[in-house]
Amino acid sequence: MKTYITSLGKFLPGPPIDNDAMEQYIGKIDGKASRVRRKILKQNGIQTRYYAMDRYQNSVFSNAEMAARAVLDAIGRSGLDVNDIDFLAAATSQGDFPLPGFASMVHGELKGSPCEIATLHGVCASGVMALKSAMMQVVAGEKHHAVACASEFASRLFKSTRFESQKKVQEEGLRFDAEFLRWMLSDGAGAAVLGNSRSSPGLCFQIEWIELISFANKFAPCMYVGPEKNGERLRSWLDYPSYESAADDGAINLRQGRALESRMGIRRRRNPRSRRSAGDLGVIPKSAEDPPLPVASQKSACLLGIVVRPGGFELPTFWFAGKQSKILSAASGVAYRGTRHLSRP
């Protein structure tokens, strides 16, 4: 059975925040301006972003609420009603609560009819995991109107007050692996409505295939929440005698390793379990107005081009989306980018 993306929706919290105003929201650690902020922003090319908290670092929306608003936006574009949805897949890197699952919280915000739900937890790929889950439900004929959504509230992890109270930061300062992400990630949500027919009055996209490959068997986590790596098994924040001691050791900090180049390079070698090659992609856009995917930074765009070229796939320079005025974080980025195209007459 064929599957179509019949509509997409988004929710961007608050006004766009430019680079000069970032520290008015996430704050200056110990009142000092960051020494690496300008360098990181120059590399990533991001001009503005959105935060779901105010200048006093108070949350204005919950993560589940942002996801629900993106879902309602997508449903409104599709001509359906929220009660027509019979499957909801929700993804995030960090929900509002450890339990219950994120999809339960989003479903509760939607106030729709009972339906099957699935929570997908991860980092950047979790939004695509949700999309594939929804697609498979439609392909199997199990569901008629499925929704996949993803939302991120990363800025809560980057509050200056959070770092100022950590003993290790007080003694040694904030490590680059945690500092880096303060200037990369922001907040927002995206959603997609899927069905087995072109029922939307607007433009629809048929999904031919989605392939997800994990290389966790070859590499340790690159982006993770936990203490600094020291060559031993990573300690979970739950392994500490108290929440305070976990925080003091930086075990609640979101970190990004520097081994991105070596991890991306794995795709140069053909994955024996993959059924498709770069030549099967068939997604070369026709113009600079139709970039099909977001790339988070100028450096990432260069690396991605190097990785896919040996497979016979040339990456057009205008695929880089970092110069766009609206940049989301992690899971929700792909769905937001698509709203520009599905909303066309």
Q: Are 193 and 147 in contact (CB under 8 A)?
A: yes
Q: Are 4 and 338 in contact (CB under 8 A)?
A: no
pLDDT for the residue 287: 44
Q: For residue 95, how far is the Cα from the chain centroid?
A: 12
Nearest to 67 by CA among 337, 335, 339, 327: 335
Q: What is the DSSP letter of 87?
A: E
pLDDT for the residue 274: 53
Rounded (5°) CA angle 213-219-221: 90
Rounded (5°) CA angle 135-138-144: 130
pLDDT for the residue 298: 54
Residues of the chain with pLDDT under 70: 200, 258-345
pLDDT for the residue 220: 82
What is the tens place of the pLDDT at every residue in 109-149?
A: 999 999 999 999 988 889 999 999 999 999 999 999 999 99
What is the tens place of the pLDDT at every residue in 289-343?
A: 444 444 555 555 555 555 555 555 555 554 444 444 455 455 555 554 444 445 4
Q: What is the DSSP letter of 112?
A: -
Which tokens in the block code for residue 60?
């204005």
| Bond preceding residue 201 cis, omega within 30 of 0 | no
pLDDT for the residue 258: 63
Strands, sheet with 145-153, edge to edge from the N-terminal-most edge strand: 116-121, 87-92, 145-153, 187-195, 4-11, 205-206
User: How far, in Å, are 20, 242, 331 from residue 159 at the CA level?
Assistant: 16, 21, 20
pLDDT for the residue 296: 54
pLDDT for the residue 262: 52
Place of tokens 């029922």: 199
pLDDT for the residue 325: 46
Which tokens in the block code for residue 322?
């970092």
pLDDT for the residue 332: 52
pLDDT for the residue 307: 52
Rounded (5°) CA angle 201-202-205: 120
pLDDT for the residue 230: 85
Q: Which domains does the chain have, with CATH numbers?
A: 4-271+289-342 (3.40.47.10)
